[in-house]
Amino acid sequence: MSNYDLMIKQVESLAEASRNYLPLMSNISALLFESLKDINWAGFYLVNNENLLLGPFQGKVACVNIENGKGVCGTALLKDETIVVDNVHEFEGHIACDSASNSEIVIPIHHNNKVIALLDIDSPVFNRFTNEDKIGLENLVKKLEELIEI
């Protein structure tokens, strides 16, 4: 069980050093990678010309560009909603950046009422992300949206 309240306080603390998106997202990806159990990738994709561009992350080498509507991240961008996938191999159009990933959660990040980035977390464990994880990570993203400077 993850302590999302503590992680949110840590995000607030990280923002005291800088609210600029680059160092804040970099440190949050490290925080999540160290704090969450059974994950192999934690990071951000930034909206760039209506598609996604790799942002700060922790984990193995990742896909650099993802088209809007493609894969789990592109679908989350297109639908502007959190997507939890228990088995990525059953997600139509899944983009396998790391063949070790088996489940995934993607959460849109907003600024000025539009999606500017996505938080993406992968796990080698099937069914890794619970409703508690979804709620906790959505609350963490809400805090990030309040703090971030673009």
**How many Cβ atoms from other residues are within 10 Å of residue 117's Cβ?**
27
How confident is the model at residue 1, as a pLDDT? 63
Query: Which regions in the chain score pLDDT beneath 50?
Result: none
Domain residues for the domain of 105 are 4-147
What gap in Å lies between CA 84 and CA 64, rounded to an integer?
21
Check if the beta carbon of residue 118 is closer than 8 Å to that of residue 107. yes
116 three-class SS: strand
Dig out the tokens for 60 from the structure: 């193995």
Check if the beta carbon of residue 149 is closer than 8 Å to that of residue 20. yes
Domains in the chain, number: 1
* H/E run at residue 123: strand 114-123
How confident is the model at residue 91, as a pLDDT? 86
Contacts of 93 (CB under 8 A, 6+ apart): 70, 71, 75
How confident is the model at residue 3, as a pLDDT? 95
CA angle at residue 33 from 62 to 26, to 5 degrees? 70
At 93, which CATH number? 3.30.450.40
Task: Provide the whole-model pTM.
Answer: 0.95
How confident is the model at residue 99, as a pLDDT? 75
